[in-house]
Structure 1
Amino acid sequence: MTQEPRRTAHVLSRGSWAEARRIADILRKETIGGALLLAGALVALIWANSPWSDSYTAMLEYKFGPAALHLDLTVATWAADGLLAIFFFVAGLELKREFVAGDLRDPRRAAVPVAAAFGGVVVPALVYVAVNAGGATQGWAIPTATDIAFALAVLAVIGRHLPTALRTFLLTLAVVDDLLAIVIIAVFYTANLSVLPLLVALVPLGLFTLLVQRRVRSWWLLLPLAFAAWTLVHASGVHATVAGVLLGFAVPVLRSRKAGGPEAGPGLAEHFEHRFRPISAGFAVPVFALMSAGVAVGGWGGLTEALSDPVALGIMLGLVVGKPIGITAATWLVARFTRARIDAGLAWIDVVGLSVLAGIGFTVSLLIGELAFGAGSELDDRVKVAVLTGSLVAALLAAVVLRLRNRTYRRIHEEETADHDRDDIPDVYQR
């Protein structure tokens, strides 16, 4: 009996046509969100360094909300704890869909972006700790996060013809990265834990899970339960964004058998993702940027002084140096130990370019900075300067690397676009 030859494993292999179309749709929405995020950050910087900076501070410190529920929070806290919960809800939906119904349900395909995400968390943290040994080491997690919207917006500008496999890699890497960040926040940045509210939060979370598993879409049932779960998690001392991820994981990806099974159309997770991604990318994240990126630089001298601080140096080196090394090394190790080879048409310089781009750590990095050093503190201001500077440097370096490959991407794109038959699906996805 002859044995079938073993298929060669590929790193960053081409996904399915359905996945390619889905990723393209996500990229369009996140690109718009990235532009709005950048606009919010620029407005915050200009406002905080203008003669009207006092009004910016007053806005951040303005409190509102029901005091009976201990939710009389500042505008800045509502942005960090409330709006970012929507962002992490969408991230939870996206990650679950990738591993349940996407191309990453194959463990061999999932191993690459997951390992890359772990490498992109561990190495920057080590770089930060090395720079701040014996100092402010509590900020070790700041350079570990990748900003999805910002990174994808830059990618859309500098690499319109980037192969779908690389776009999927970056998107999945960033989503797993955010999941790791929320675990880090829950475990390492929870100062005072109240067990009772956390246990009570299981009630609305369980009811929400039960309803969505029965494919209930009624907003007047689901939203109050989601808000109750968020409120109780917030009261427990665990960062409230954790509730967003848990709620996202509760939503089923596949359609029920009564509805016709997975072939009958999109599941509830995809339905919610279509509804909430525009809110997350177009409102929640840009408003958080507006509330968090405003820092008084104090001129060139103040900028130089801020960037020379060990905390700032650790963050910038973690983002610009640690991220690329960690992601590229982890990807190479997976290929080395699985004896996989990079897919045809791609090169390792593409992985390097994307790993540099992953050094854009804006939204979650600013959030962790506030948790590590306290919102409005002197070190928090230096964290903001370092995150903004490191993210800008990472974006510029990635633009240089990826633009060098843009001509190749364009040629591949033109060949695939021309290679269509009557079903409007590129033949390369049908081979």
Structure 2
Amino acid sequence: MSDSSRMSLFRRGSWPEARRIGEILRRETIGGALLLVAAVAALVWANSPWAPAYEALRDWQVGPAAWHLHLSLGTWAADGLLAIFFFVAGLELKREFVAGDLRDPRRAVVPVAAAVGGVLVPALIYTVLNIGTGGGALRGWAIATATDIAFALAVLAVVGRHLPAALRIFLLTLAVVDDLLAIVIIAVFYTAHLAVAPLLATLVPLAVFGVLVQRRVRSWWLLLPLAALTWGLMHASGVHATVAGVLLAFTVPVVRSDQAGGPQAGLGLAEHFEQRFRPLSAGFAVPVFALLSAGVTIGGLHGLATALTDPVALGVVAGLVAGKTIGITAATWLVARFTRARLDEGLSWADVIGLAILGGVGFTVSLLVGELAFGAHDPRAEHVKVAVLAGSLTAALLATAVLRLRNRVYRRLHAAESVDTDRDGTPDVYETGGDR
């Protein structure tokens, strides 16, 4: 096979898709900043003299007891608000694989394989470090398997503003796919008591919702009650209620066009719902979850050392920092090896490693899985929170160092992608065989 005919990894896609992803990244960056502020506020509050007030707020119970929905605010945030987050993630994933550049299997295989590798290796590392420790420690094997979309993109916005569009799309898709893998793991492995009747009943409002959106119905007074009923029945079934968000998203139609982002791309309900709910997810749902979940009493340096020497915490940190890096990089290399593909012009494996390290920024879903694995009153639940914060911060700092070393290359590639000599709004590289 000649060098010119070999498949190229991270090759430039279509301009409409690159522009759409750019808009998503800008919105998620703001959400990532809010997430960071909320997490810091929770940590400061939980370690201040006003810590009892934080715990009282988190544990305050509201909701109708008759419907088994008399829940604490922390549970409402984890089960309810994160359903919005997963609804948006589901919309994005379906949009990418139905109408985006990833409808081409050759493009889709790279981020999907990387996401799978980024799930399997952290889980394996955690298991190796905790096998034989007893006390149910192995329940936390999935904590380090998900990448936090908002947090990772916020880091990328600071250190990788000139990162080529193909690498940005890779990171976004990888994060969405492994979040969806995480929700499958939650549904399969963290459902303790399954009630079959409510689970089957979930199919009724879900099906009605699906029929209405397929008929392009946008009336909120019809769709929101059906979505809420689907969520409520899923919660009653014992399956984590955030699964309802993904299932609802997958029923929403995506407009196909000959070219991703073509003239019809703005007409689909998926794009309409994504524009409406992404700000709610990034600007409210995820930051509130962080505020109510990230507050952990560290207890000074001694408490920090005690937490991080727990095998559970060690497994989480090692899974996020080492597991994600090894899993994502190795899976990407294997795709290149077995397809005889090469990296696109100007890119190197250092770029892949940098993004793989950034994939270790696991916050939102990691905290959620930690709560499901150990509950609210197990001391290891507090150690998990410390480990998630420490691992995510370490991954962010290491990724910053690696990507900063390549910043000059990114600036040159970004400049080449920005030239628009005819001033028609489309960079020249996308008009001269951009999808190469």
Residue of 29, 32, 55 corresponding to 2:30: 32
Paired with 1:35 and 1:430, the residues of 2 have a C-alpha distance of: 35
Paired with 2:321 and 2:376, the residues of 1 have a C-alpha distance of: 24
Q: Secondary structure at the match of 2:264?
A: helix
Task: Give the count of matched residue pairs.
Answer: 424
1:410 deviation in Å?
A: 1.1
| Contact 1:127/1:322 (8 A) holds in 2 | yes
Structure 1 stretches of 5 or more lacking a match? none
1:69 deviation in Å?
A: 1.2
Paired with 2:110 and 2:63, the residues of 1 have a C-alpha distance of: 44
Q: Which residue of 1 aligns with 2:421?
A: 420
Paired with 2:16 and 2:288, the residues of 1 have a C-alpha distance of: 32
TM-score, structure 1 normalization: 0.96
> Given the superposition, is the C-alpha separation of residues 362 and 128 from structure 1 closer, same or farther in structure 2, using an over 3 Å criterion?
same
Q: Secondary structure at the match of 2:352?
A: helix
| Contact 2:294/2:385 (8 A) holds in 1 | yes
Q: Which residue of 1 aligns with 2:184?
A: 183
1:8 deviation in Å?
A: 2.2
1:308-347 paired onto structure 2 within 5 Å: 308-347=309-348
1:217-366 paired onto structure 2 within 5 Å: 217-254=218-255, 263=264, 265-366=266-367
Q: Which residue identity does 1:198 align to in structure 2?
A: L
CA deviation vs aligned residue, 1:86-138 (integer Å, no higher than 9, x gap): 00000000000000000000001000000000000000000000100113111
Paired with 1:13 and 1:69, the residues of 2 have a C-alpha distance of: 51
Residue of 8, 11, 31 corresponding to 2:9: 11
Q: Which residue identity does 1:62 align to in structure 2?
A: W
When structure 1 is superposed on structure 2, of 263-272 and 275-284 the one drifting more is 263-272
Paired with 1:416 and 1:25, the residues of 2 have a C-alpha distance of: 16
Paired with 1:250 and 1:182, the residues of 2 have a C-alpha distance of: 17
Matched, 1:103 2:64: no
1:430 deviation in Å?
A: 1.4
Matched, 1:79 2:77: yes
> Given the superposition, is the C-alpha separation of residues 5 and 316 from structure 1 closer, same or farther in structure 2, using an over 3 Å criterion?
closer
When structure 1 is superposed on structure 2, of 340-349 and 294-303 the one drifting more is 340-349
Q: Which residue of 1 aligns with 2:145?
A: 144
Paired with 1:268 and 1:412, the residues of 2 have a C-alpha distance of: 34
Paired with 1:420 and 1:253, the residues of 2 have a C-alpha distance of: 33
1:306 deviation in Å?
A: 0.5
1:420 deviation in Å?
A: 3.3
Q: Which residue identity does 1:386 align to in structure 2?
A: A
Q: Secondary structure at the match of 1:429?
A: helix
1:70 deviation in Å?
A: 1.1
Q: Secondary structure at the match of 1:221?
A: helix
Paired with 2:376 and 2:326, the residues of 1 have a C-alpha distance of: 30
Q: Which residue identity does 2:276 align to in structure 1?
A: R
Q: Which residue identity does 2:216 align to in structure 1?
A: R
Q: Which residue identity does 1:303 align to in structure 2?
A: L
| Contact 2:416/2:429 (8 A) holds in 1 | no
Paired with 1:248 and 1:169, the residues of 2 have a C-alpha distance of: 21
Paired with 1:35 and 1:5, the residues of 2 have a C-alpha distance of: 43
Q: Which residue of 2 aligns with 1:154?
A: 155
Paired with 2:424 and 2:83, the residues of 1 have a C-alpha distance of: 40
Paired with 2:3 and 2:397, the residues of 1 have a C-alpha distance of: 45
> Given the superposition, is the C-alpha separation of residues 214 and 193 from structure 1 closer, same or farther in structure 2, using an over 3 Å criterion?
same
Matched, 1:123 2:121: yes
Paired with 1:204 and 1:418, the residues of 2 have a C-alpha distance of: 50
1:262 deviation in Å?
A: 6.8
Structure 2 stretches of 5 or more lacking a match? none
Paired with 1:273 and 1:398, the residues of 2 have a C-alpha distance of: 29
CA deviation vs aligned residue, 1:284-306 (integer Å, no higher than 9, x gap): 00000000000000010000010
| Contact 1:81/1:239 (8 A) holds in 2 | yes
| Contact 1:255/1:268 (8 A) holds in 2 | no
1:317 deviation in Å?
A: 0.4
Q: Which residue identity does 2:240 align to in structure 1?
A: H
Q: Secondary structure at the match of 2:371?
A: helix
| Contact 2:99/2:256 (8 A) holds in 1 | no
Q: Secondary structure at the match of 1:192?
A: coil
Matched, 1:196 2:197: yes
Paired with 2:240 and 2:266, the residues of 1 have a C-alpha distance of: 35
1:366 deviation in Å?
A: 0.3
Q: Which residue identity does 2:113 align to in structure 1?
A: A
1:376 deviation in Å?
A: 3.6
> Given the superposition, is the C-alpha separation of residues 317 and 264 from structure 1 closer, same or farther in structure 2, using an over 3 Å criterion?
closer
Paired with 1:191 and 1:384, the residues of 2 have a C-alpha distance of: 22
Q: Secondary structure at the match of 2:267?
A: coil
When structure 1 is superposed on structure 2, of 344-353 and 167-176 the one drifting more is 344-353
Q: CA RMSD in A?
A: 1.5
| Contact 1:255/1:265 (8 A) holds in 2 | no
1:5 deviation in Å?
A: 11
Q: Which residue identity does 1:99 align to in structure 2?
A: F
